């Protein structure tokens, strides 16, 4: 169980403070797969970065299985919009980055196992420059998975990919989620992605201008059946999704 | 089409084709680089032999070669080259080390950058020869002042490239280090160092080129040995063949030392190299 309790994040800029998140509360069950949606700038990335330990919260706490999380840990993996592979390391060494403290033998076993999982056997020696966008993102996923995390955070991981590669990876991530019993929290702007992949869609709403307003999170529990009826209009009204992706629904 | 087919089946054709491919793969690059010097040599030969330009101004290639061979024969050529190489070497090491340390410090720490960089940038604007009187006053007229001048030449490109390289390190890559709990040493070993090596090498190569420029300046101003001295000597004694010979030696040795840096850096630049060959392959196809 991932517990997000009373999380606020105030960025202190030179002139004025920006409240990215205000008193956000959220419970996420083990082995859930969740889509986080919302207008850009509403704090989705910030929330993910706080869960991942990259950013310190101004107030509140995050607990994973009743343990407070303050810094990055091997229990939580993160994949960004860009693959962030080191261009000077080949695929093998890029994945090795996240298990540097293990011995060579273990590394070898784990890396080849993980590469197999993401469908990139025989690619160990390739340089990042030689990978397609989809392959590079698979390597980034492998780098997160090789640490055997319980929670996987995905910040718009497919948004830079063409639609064919995207659909392909959706399928693949769903399989990984099922076989590894992961908890996945995914930020997306694509309504197809959100409905087809997730158990729950969470709509994040910006904290209001006044200080007492908090970050609101609207829950859509069963997106595949629910979406077309009640909450669908609300989503469009909020113009959370890209127009193009709504038309194809 | 028919003819092509016939030729295609011909054994001679196959042999020629494999030879051609071998040539293309192994020799095309260096050979292309040699074309221009050969053309210049031919034009030079033509101008000199026909005396289009007077022989007292432009000697023939033969005469230049003879001059060099004479010097080589009595052993003085080697010692001239050695002394010039030694000056460049010490200047390169001195300027390179100072620039590397300062470049890292100013690259990493905004405070040190604000403290040092304006001054360094101002010093960079000082024309190189303006240092000469000061260095002679400080270090005497012998080796030290020359090495100091060369160090100044080497310093700036190395410093600037390294500082910019470090500043341009992608924060997002550092985040990857953070999320994977890399410690400081691991971050330096796997991310910072390999990230800045290309810029550092670029700086070292242009630093060396400037080092060669400055060694000539230093030797032209006053030296009793060295390739630059040979040029002055040729000027004083009216031997253009000697001047041109020294000039060619400068070009060859400068190119060789640059190649040396490039070759020793190559293993660290493999990841970039792979891009080059990929592009080369695409162009050839
Ligand atoms: N490092 C930062 N410094 C200052 N402001 C930031 C920083 N990161 C994010 N913000 C601000 O916080 C708000 C939320 O940003 P973000 O979480 O990236 O939104 P989203 O991912 O939902 O588009 C935005 O107003 C953004 O400008
Ligand atoms: Mg974002």
Cβ neighbours of B271 in A, within 8 Å: 87-90, 127-129
Nearest CA to ligand 1 atom 17: A43
User: CA–CA separation, B40 vs B28, rounded Å?
Assistant: 19
Mean pLDDT of A88-112: 95
Query: Per-residue pLDDT for A249 more than 50?
Result: no
- Contact criterion met (CB < 8 Å) for B274 and A130: yes
Is the pLDDT score of A144 beyond 50? yes
3-state secondary structure chain B: CHHHHHHHHCHHHHHHHHHHHHHHHHCHHHHHHHHHHHHHHHHHHHHHHCCCCCCCCCCCHHHHHHHHHHHHHCCHHHHHHHHHHHHHHHHHHHHHHHHHHHHHHHHHCHHHHHHHHHHHHHHHCCCHHHHHHHHHHHHCCCHHHHHHHHHHHHHHHHHHHHHHHHHCCCHHHHHHHHHCCCCHHHHHHHHHHHHHHHHHHHHHHHHHHHHHHHHHHHHHHCCCCCHHHHHHHHHHCCCHHHHHHHHHHHHHHHHHHHHHHHHHHHHHHHHHHHHHHHHHHHHHC
From A115, A103, A101, A113, select the one nearest A73 (Cα to Cα). Answer: A101
Phi-psi region of A39 (alpha: psi -120 to 50; beta: other; left: phi over 0): beta
Yes or no, beta carbons of A88 and B195 under 8 Å apart: yes
Instruction: Name chain B contacts of A86, Cβ cutoff 8 Å.
Output: 173, 176, 190-191, 194-195
- Chain B residue at shortest CA distance from A50: B179
- Cβ-contact A138, A118 below 8 angstroms: yes
Q: What is the pLDDT of residues B242-284, one digit of tens each?
A: 999 999 999 999 999 999 999 888 888 888 765 555 443 333 3
Task: Give CA–CA dist B270/A88, Å, rounded.
Answer: 8
- Note whether B278 contacts A147, CB cutoff 8 Å: no
Q: How confident is the model at residue B42 (pLDDT cuts 50, 70, 90)?
A: very high
Residues with CB under 6 Å of ligand 1 are A 11, 13, 18, 20, 38, 40-46
Percent residues over pLDDT 90 in chain A: 60
Answer whether A96's CB lies under 8 Å from A111's CB.
yes
Greater confidence, B11 or A96?
A96
The predicted-structure confidence for A211-232, as pLDDT tens digits, reads as follows 557 777 777 777 776 656 556 6
Question: Mean per-residue pLDDT for B177-193?
Answer: 92
Q: Tell me the pairing of strands A2-12 and A59-64.
A: antiparallel
Which residue of chain A comes nearest to B180, CA vs CA? A98
| Coarse DSSP helix, strand, coil percentages of chain A, rounded to the nearest 5 percent | 35, 25, 40
B179, B181, B278: residue with CB nearest A78? B179
Dihedral of alpha carbons B168, B171, B176, B182, sign = positive
Which ligand does the CA of A54 lie closest to?
A: 1
Band the pLDDT of B154: cuts 50, 70, 90.
Answer: very high
Contacts of residue B123, Cβ cutoff 8 Å, sequence gap at least 6: none
Tell me the C-alpha distance between A222 and A199, whole Å. 6
B interface residues, A as partner, C-beta within 8 Å: 172-173, 175-182, 186, 190-191, 194-195, 197, 271-272, 274-275, 278
- The answer to whether ipTM exceeds 0.95 is no
B48-61 pLDDT, tens digit each? 888 888 888 888 88
The closest of A244, A133, A139 to A189, measured between CA atoms, is: A244
Per the CB < 8 A criterion, the answer to whether B227 and B81 are in contact is: yes
3-class secondary-structure state, position A92? helix
How confident is the model at residue A234, as a pLDDT? 64
Q: A19 alpha carbon to ligand 1 midpoint, in Å?
A: 9
Residue nearest to atom 13 of ligand 1 (CA): A20
pLDDT confidence bin for B6, thresholds 50/70/90: low
Is the CB of residue A22 less than 8 Å from the CB of residue A58? no
Q: From the CA of A246, how far away is ligand 1's center (Å)?
A: 25
pLDDT of residue A111: 96
Question: Region A77-92: what's the mean pLDDT?
Answer: 94
pLDDT above 70 covers a percentage of chain A that reads: 88
pLDDT for residue B128 is more than 60: yes
Tell me how close the Cα of A30 comes to any Cα of chain B, in angstroms: 21
Q: Record the tokens describing residue B98, joined without a space.
A: 């100072």
The partner residue sitting opposite A54, judged by closest CB among B178, B197, B274, is: B178
Residue with tokens 């840096």: B261
For chain A, give the number of residues. 249
- What average pLDDT does this structure show over A83-98? 95
Residue extents of the structural domains in chain B: 1-58, 61-284
What per-residue confidence (pLDDT) applies to A148? 93
pLDDT tens for each residue of B100-120: 999 989 988 889 999 999 999
Output the CA–CA distances (angstroms, integers) from residue B57 to B44, B60, B244, B250, in the order listed: 12, 10, 10, 20
Element (H, E) at A116: helix A104-117
CB contact under 8 A, A84 and B182: no
Q: Does the B61-284 domain belong in CATH 1.10.3720.10?
A: yes
Contact A7, A183 (CB under 8 A): no
Ramachandran region of residue B126, left (φ > 0), alpha (ψ -120 to 50) or beta?
beta
């Amino acid at each position: 169980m991932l517990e997000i309790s009373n999380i606020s994040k105030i960025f202190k800029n030179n002139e004025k403070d920006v409240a990215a998140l205000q008193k956000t509360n959220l419970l996420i069950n083990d082995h859930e797969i969740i889509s986080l949606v919302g207008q850009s700038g509403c704090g989705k990335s910030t929330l993910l970065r706080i869960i991942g330990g990259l950013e310190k919260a101004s107030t509140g706490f995050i607990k994973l299985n009743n343990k407070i999380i303050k810094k990055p840990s091997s229990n939580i993996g993160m994949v960004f919009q860009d693959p962030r592979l080191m261009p000077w390391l080949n695929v093998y060494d890029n994945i090795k980055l996240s298990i540097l403290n293990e011995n060579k033998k273990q590394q070898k076993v784990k890396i080849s196992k993980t590469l197999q999982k993401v469908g990139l056997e025989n690619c160990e020696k390739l340089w990042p420059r030689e990978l397609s966008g989809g392959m590079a993102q698979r390597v980034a996923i492998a780098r997160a998975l090789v640490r055997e995390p319980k929670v996987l955070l995905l910040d718009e991981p497919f948004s830079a990919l063409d639609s064919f590669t995207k659909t392909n990876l959706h399928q693949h991530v769903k399989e990984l989620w099922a076989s590894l019993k992961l908890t996945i929290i995914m930020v997306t702007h694509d309504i197809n992605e959100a409905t087809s992949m997730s158990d729950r869609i969470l709509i994040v709403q910006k904290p209001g201008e006044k200080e007492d307003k908090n970050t609101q999170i609207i829950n859509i529990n069963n997106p595949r059946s629910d979406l077309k009826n009640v909450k669908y209009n609300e989503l469009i009204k909020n113009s959370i999704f890209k127009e193009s992706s709504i038309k194809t629904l | 089409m028919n003819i092509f087919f016939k030729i295609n089946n011909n054994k001679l054709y196959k042999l020629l084709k494999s030879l051609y491919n071998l040539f293309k793969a192994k020799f095309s690059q260096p050979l292309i680089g040699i074309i221009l010097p050969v053309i210049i040599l031919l034009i030079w030969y033509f101008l000199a032999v026909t005396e289009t330009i007077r022989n007292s101004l432009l000697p023939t290639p033969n005469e230049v070669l003879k001059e060099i061979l004479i010097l080589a024969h009595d052993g003085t050529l080697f010692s001239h080259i050695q002394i010039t190489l030694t000056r460049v070497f010490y200047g390169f090491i001195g300027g390179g080390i100072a620039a590397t340390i300062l470049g890292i410090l100013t690259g990493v720490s905004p405070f040190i950058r604000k403290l040092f960089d304006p001054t360094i940038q101002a010093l960079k604007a000082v024309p190189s020869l303006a240092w000469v009187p000061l260095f002679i006053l400080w270090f005497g007229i012998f080796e030290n002042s020359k090495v100091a001048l060369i160090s100044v030449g080497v310093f700036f490109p190395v410093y600037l490239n390294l500082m910019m390289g470090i500043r341009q390190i992608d924060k997002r890559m550092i985040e990857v280090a953070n999320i994977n709990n890399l410690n400081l040493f691991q971050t330096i070993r796997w991310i910072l160092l390999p990230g800045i090596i290309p810029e550092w090498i670029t700086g070292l190569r242009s630093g060396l080129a400037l080092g060669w420029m400055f060694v000539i300046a230093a030797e032209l101003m006053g030296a009793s040995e060295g390739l630059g001295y040979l040029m002055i000597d040729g000027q004083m004694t009216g031997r253009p063949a000697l001047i041109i010979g020294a000039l060619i030696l400068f070009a060859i040795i400068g190119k060789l030392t640059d190649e040396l840096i490039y070759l020793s850096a190559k293993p660290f630049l493999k990841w970039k190299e792979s891009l080059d060959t990929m592009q080369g392959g695409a162009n050839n196809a």
